[in-house]
Amino acid sequence: IEINCFKEIDSTNDEAKKNGKNHFSIFVAPKQSDGKGRCGRKFESPGGLYFSIFLKKDELVFADILTIRAVVAVVRVLKNIGLEVGVKWVNDVFIDNKKVCGILTESLINMYGDITDIVVGIGINIGTDQSKFSKEVRSVAGVIGDGIDKNLIVAKILNELSDIFKIERGIIIDEYKSYLIVLNKKIYYSIDGSIKEGLALDIDENGSLVILENEKIRKLSYGDVSIKL
C-alpha cells in the first residue's frame, strides 16, 4: 500500500481529498494545524496519531457504514493492547468517559453527484500532551500511553480495516453494538436547534440510533448525543 507521511500538515483528510489517487492510500502525520472534526468543528491535533485512508468506491466490496467499520477497527486494536474502551454513538471512542479518538468520513463526488471516492480520517490522542489542548477540550479529551508505538497502531488498524471492509454489514453492526456505551441510557440530542431527551434503545441496520422519545420512536442518522448523568 501507498503511505504518505508528513511531519506536520493542515489536515490529513484535506490532503487525502486533494492528492489521493490509489485505493487504500494512507496520509499520516503526528500533528495537524487545522484538524477537521464532525459538524464543521475543529479537531485539536497538538501531537498524536492522525491519519486518513483514501478509498475508491468501486474497489470496495461493501461501501456502506464506513465510519462504523472504522470505529470497529480502532476498538479492536485498542482492546487488543489491553485498553478498556467504549463507543459513544456514532464515532467517538471513549476511555473513562473521555474521548480518545474521533473519526471523520468525507465523500468526494463527480459532476453527476455520484460518490466516487471516500476519505476516512482517524485521530487518536496517543502520547498527547494534555496541556496542549485548549481549556475546554482538556476536560473532555482522554490520552493514551506514552509508550505506545504509533506506527504499530496504524499498521494494526489498517490490517483490521482491510478485513472489516470485506465483512457483511449485519455482522459489523452487531459487533459495533456490543461496544456502545449509550444503549439503555437516557441521552440528550439536538434536533432542529432544540435539545431533546430520550432513551437510547438500539441501533438499526444502517447504524442509526433508535430512541424512545415521549413514547414515540425516533431514529437519528447523524448528529451528536450526550449521556444524561
The x, y and z cell numbers of residue 171, run together, are 455482522
Smallest gap from residue 51 Cβ to ligand BTN (A): 6
Q: Which residues bind ligand BTN (CB under 6 A)?
A: 11-13, 32, 35-38, 41, 43, 50-52, 92, 102-104, 121-123
**Residue nearest to ligand BTN as judged by C-beta position:** 102
Secondary structure E strands in 36-114: 49-56, 86-88, 92-95, 98-109
Smallest gap from residue 113 Cβ to ligand BTN (A): 24
Count, residues in the chain: 229
Smallest gap from residue 212 Cβ to ligand BTN (A): 26
User: Which residue, 50 or 94, is less far from ligand BTN as judged by CB?
Assistant: 50
User: Which residue, 31 or 201, is less far from ligand BTN as judged by CB?
Assistant: 31
Report d(CA 198, CA 216) in Å as an integer: 10
Smallest gap from residue 168 Cβ to ligand BTN (A): 26
User: Which residue, 39 or 111, is less far from ligand BTN as judged by CB?
Assistant: 39
Report d(CA 33, CA 12) in Å as an integer: 10
User: Which residue, 92 or 117, is less far from ligand BTN as judged by CB?
Assistant: 92
Distances from the Cα of 2 to the Cαs of 21, 89, 123, in angstroms? 10, 31, 19
Smallest gap from residue 202 Cβ to ligand BTN (A): 23
- Count of Cβ atoms closer than 10 Å to residue 218 Cβ: 16
Query: For the chain, what is the radius of gyration of the CA atoms?
Result: 17
Q: Hey, CA dihedral for 6, 64, 153, 95, is it positive or negative?
A: positive
User: Which residue, 181 or 199, is less far from ligand BTN as judged by CB?
Assistant: 181
